[in-house]
Amino acid sequence: MNYCVRGEEAAAQITKLTGSNNVQVIPLDLASFQSIRDFAQAVKDKYETIDCLVCNAGIWVPMEKQVKTEDGLEAHVGINHMGHFLLTNLLIGHVKRVVVVSSGLMLSGKIDLDDSR
């Protein structure tokens, strides 16, 4: 399913539950540096300040699948870390506070610095 469609569905549900019509969807794909740049620019164009940026998105896929981001990074590093890092840096002058959320999966990870894949 298209992420924008899912975003619009979530926005409609939030509007229905809260009664607020001030729910907006701005597309963001953390697996694409261009998408992150586009999102950050759209947010800066639309909002003067951001009260809180919550970096909560993340993925987990088996390592043997060798999933990569649009920019050629290993997916876990690219999406869970570099994507949030770039987004935060692009918005840092507009954000009052940043919250970074992680999961228990961080305890099971291993980095093989000799693996050049």
pLDDT in tens, 23-82: 999 999 999 999 999 999 999 999 999 999 999 878 888 888 989 999 999 998 899 889
d(CA 59, CA 87): 16
Q: Which of 3-7, 72-76, 84-88 has the lowest mean pLDDT?
A: 3-7
Radius of gyration of the chain (CA): 16
pTM for the predicted model, two decimal places: 0.80
Q: What three-state secondary structure class fits 98?
A: strand
Q: Identify the sign of the CA torsion 72, 78, 82, 87.
A: positive
